[in-house]
Amino acid sequence: MISSGDTGFVLLCAAFVFFMTPGLALFYGGLVRRKNVVNTMMSSVFMIGTAIVLWVLFGYSLSFSGNIGGIIGDLSWFGFNGVGMEAGPYSDSIPNLCFAAFQMMFAIITPALITGATAGRMKFKAQFIFMILWSFIVYYPMAHMVWGKGGFLGEGFLHSVDFAGGNVVHISSGISALVLCMILGKRDGYQHRSYRIHNIPMVAFGACVLLFGWFGFNSGSALAADGLAAHAFMTTAASCGAAIVTWMGIEAWRCGKPSLIGAATGMVAGLVAITPGAGFVPVWAAVIIGIAVCPICYFMISVAKKKFGYDDALDAFGCHGVGGIWGGIATGIFAMSSINGTAKWDGLIFGDYELFLAQVLSIVITIAIAVVGTLICVAITRLITPLRVTKMEERIGLDMSEHNESAYPSFNGLD
């Protein structure tokens, strides 16, 4: 029976999740140099239009209708044919259209996360083509395998759990971001030039918009205005709060003073880490998850990136990929089937090992899909257009060379 309360709640959460993409545009836009602000923000904004059209025509059907080998759906819901106001197979209390709208917002922001690793050097045309291909080759199969009926990683075989997108959103985009930035190569003068953050207040505001939307991201994944939604809300808050404080402490210890950028980064890392387990782990465990993700991500961003020499410009891999991996593992450690019966077993800390093994295996499979899928997308994109702008275009800045716009037309200084 359709519930007006559940329907209203999930639609409101969908709007919250939609608002995260403009928040991501602000967050990423503030982190880059002045000459690349428009291009960086455009990399998130264009996905709003592109992903919605793809979702209506193909994406929702391939992700959630039918089941072909546990890997992908079919096209029985092509163009939203048969997707109406009655309840669908994923919830008895909300219309199928409502569930489709909520999931659409995830399909918008996930590819946009990848652009944080490639900021300042990828041709917009190449990015546009790559994101379309990536949605078909990586995102839609991942959504089906984890959340779809009969999905291989979920109920169909492995029985791993992912409440709101650890595998589907963060690991897939983070690993793809790493592969893509390594293929593109470093930014011009990367090892010799200072890439200063150009607008710290913009970064902080963008991060807070992401936090605001994340409550809808995780709570809405309960698909009902119930106790599980309230539980996901509190685990989200607990992990985020613990991560902010922990990251500030790490910076104070390492650098002598905490920074606003560090607090914002810790905030996002804590949110990423709790996403797969928000509706499975107890609230006290969410605090542990938020605390533990900070030294892991801090090490990857501050030490490993320099050691291995890859140019993950805005730390899409260091935050989303690594944080998502930890969150998936932590779900296998702390999950309780009494909180959410979708989990067939309790976590490792409660004496069961099956869920932990399923979580680790699902992460390995997700990484493999993201790597192979990204390589395929890059190969096809290169047949159509070069991936990277020229050195001169990069020095001019992608705002002018790719869009003929300037975020700060009155600024005449060096950048």
Structural tokens at position 266: 């810790």
What tokens does 181 get? 């930035």
Give me the residues of the chain with pLDDT under 50, please. Answer: none
What whole-number distance in Å separates Cα of residue 326 and Cα of residue 305? 18
Domain span at 59: 4-403
Q: Is 289 left (phi over 0), alpha (psi -120 to 50) or beta?
A: alpha
Q: What is the pLDDT of residue 133?
A: 98
- Residue 409 domain-assigned? no
3-class secondary structure, 87 = strand
| Res 415: pLDDT | 60
Closest to 55 measured CA to CA, from 114, 126, 117, 143: 143
> Does a structural domain hold residue 415?
no
Chain segment 249-269, per-residue pLDDT in tens: 999 999 999 999 999 999 999
Spatial separation of the C-alpha atoms in residues 304 and 371, rounded to whole Å: 19
Phi and psi for 95 in degrees, rounded to 5? Answer: -65, 155
Count of structural domains, the chain: 1
Kindly give, in sequence order, each residue whose CB lies less than 8 Å from that of residue 81, ignoring residues fewer than 6 positions away.
Answer: none
In what helix (H) or strand (E) does residue 183 lie, and over which residues does it extend? helix 172-184
CA 356/CA 280 separation, integer angstroms: 13
Could you tell me if residue 414 is inside a domain? no
pLDDT in tens, 186-209: 998 776 666 678 999 999 999 999
CATH number at residue 352: 1.10.3430.10
411 in a domain, yes or no? no
Centroid of chain to Cα 296: 18
In a domain, 410, yes or no: no
Task: Quote the CA–CA distance of 387 and 122 in Å, as a whole number.
Answer: 6
Residue 412 covered by a domain: no
Assigned domain for 19 exists: yes
The answer to whether the beta carbons of residues 96 and 84 sit under 8 Å apart is yes
